[in-house]
Amino acid sequence: MTLITPERNQAAGHVDPAAAYVPDQSRAERRTSFEVADFPVPHGREEEWRFTPVDRLGNVFSDTPTDDREGDPAATFDATEVEAVLAEPLGPGAAPRGTVLVPADRAAVVASANTDQALHLKLAADTVYDEPLRLRIHGNGAGRRSNAHYVLEAGPHSQGLVILEHTGSAEHTGNLEVIVGDGANLTVVTLQQWEDDAHHLGQHDALVGRDAAYRHIAVTLGGAIVRVNSNVRYAGPGGEATLLGVYFADAGQHLEHRSFVDHNAPRCTSLVTYKGALQGDTAHTVWVGDVLIRKEAEGIETYELNRNLVLTDGARADSVPNLEIETGEIAGAGHASSTGRFDDEQLFYLMARGIPEAEARKLVVRGFFADIVARIGVPEVVDTLMAAIEAELAATGS
C-alpha cells in the first residue's frame, strides 16, 4: 500500500499544530456501526473531528429524539415537489434502508437511531424526470434538535435531479442514503442556506451502479456549523462519481466538507472538486478529501481538487487531500489543494482599466468560482449561488 502524505495549505499567518498529524490508519479501517454506543461523543482530538468545534455540538451529538412539539415540529419537511417519487417510508432495518449507509460517526449514528421512519424517494426505472425533485427542509428554531434520514433510490437507467434545500435554524442531523441503479444518471444537490445560528451535520452515502453516473453537489452558504460528508462506493464497473462543493464562509462560520471515494470496483472514475471563499474574523472552512484505491480497482481514474480564496485577514482554511493506492494498475490518480489570499495585483490590474474596486473584487471572486459553477451546470442552483455570493460581497461593503 502506498500512502501519499497529505498536502496541507493554510492561509498565511495561521499555524495549525494538529496539521502535523499524519493518519496511520487506512481509511478502509474507519469504524461504521448502527450502535450509538460504538461512537462516544467526540472530544475533538479524533482524526475525523480535529478541525470541528465539537465543544459547541453537544446538542447534535446527544442521543435524543427530534424536538417536535404539539403542532410545531422542529423542522418542516415540504415534500410537495417530490410527490412524484414519494414511496412508503422505511423503518430501521427495512431494506434498502441500511444497505448503503452505515453510520460512520457520532452525528450519523444518532440521526439514524432517532429516525423512526425514513423518507423514501424512488425514481422509477427507465424514467427521465425533467423537473427538479426538491425537498425543502426548514428548521423551526435555533437549538431544537432535528433528526432525519432519507433513502433515495434511482432505478436502473433513470435520470433525475434531487435537491435538498435547508433553511431556517435547527440542530440538525441528516443522513442521505443513495442507491444509483445501473446506468442511472442522478444528481443530488444539498443546499445549506441556514440562518446564522443553525448547526447541521450530515452523512451522505451513495452506492453507484454499473455504468451509472452520480453527481453530488454541496453548496454551503449559511449556518454556524455545517459539516457534510459525501461518500461514494461502487456496485460495479464503469461508474462515474462527481463530487462538487462550493462554500462561502463569513465571520463566525465553520463550514466543513469531507468526502470519501472508495474505489472498490474496476474501471470507475471519480472527480472531486471543492472551492470556497472566506471572509471575516474566525471564518473557518475545512475540506478533507479521502480517496482509497483498492486492489481490485484496476483501470480507475481519480482526481481531487480543493481551492480556497481568503478574502480578509483572520479567516482560516484547512485543506487535506488523502490518496491511498493499493494497486498500480490505474489510469490516473492525482490531487491538488491550495489556499491563496485575494490577489491585490489582480485588483490593481482591473482598477487600472477603470473598474471600481467593489466591482473588481466581485469579478475576481466570480472568476474564482467560474469553473466550478460551469461544472455544476444546474441553472437554478447556479443562480441561487451567484446571488448569495454577490450578497456576501455586498455585505462587507468593500
Q: Which spans of this chain sit near another protein (rule: CB under 8 A)?
A: 343-346, 348-357, 359-360, 363-364, 366-371
Complex with another protein: residue 85 or 219, whichever CB lies closer = 219
Distance, in Å, from the CA atom of 257 to the CA atom of 228, rounded to the nearest integer, reads 5
Distance, in Å, from the CA atom of 284 to the CA atom of 278, rounded to the nearest integer, reads 7
State the minimum distance, in angstroms, from the CB of residue 31 to another protein: 41
Distance, in Å, from the CA atom of 170 to the CA atom of 270, rounded to the nearest integer, reads 33
Helix axes 357-376, 344-351, angle to 10 degrees: 110
Angle value at C-alpha 393, between 362 and 228, nearest 5 degrees: 110
Complex with another protein: residue 62 or 338, whichever CB lies closer = 338
Complex with another protein: residue 35 or 390, whichever CB lies closer = 390
How distant is the alpha carbon of residue 365 from its chain centre?
21
Peptide bond into 96 cis (omega under 30): yes
State the minimum distance, in angstroms, from the CB of residue 360 to another protein: 8
Complex with another protein: residue 336 or 351, whichever CB lies closer = 351
State the minimum distance, in angstroms, from the CB of residue 131 to another protein: 30
Complex with another protein: residue 178 or 376, whichever CB lies closer = 376
State the minimum distance, in angstroms, from the CB of residue 361 to another protein: 12
State the minimum distance, in angstroms, from the CB of residue 347 to another protein: 9
Complex with another protein: residue 41 or 370, whichever CB lies closer = 370
Complex with another protein: residue 370 or 394, whichever CB lies closer = 370
What spatial distance separates the first Cα and last Cα of the chain, rounded to whole Å? Answer: 49
Complex with another protein: residue 4 or 351, whichever CB lies closer = 351
State the minimum distance, in angstroms, from the CB of residue 277 to another protein: 12
State the minimum distance, in angstroms, from the CB of residue 372 to another protein: 9
Complex with another protein: residue 83 or 344, whichever CB lies closer = 344
State the minimum distance, in angstroms, from the CB of residue 309 to another protein: 10
State the minimum distance, in angstroms, from the CB of residue 369 to another protein: 7
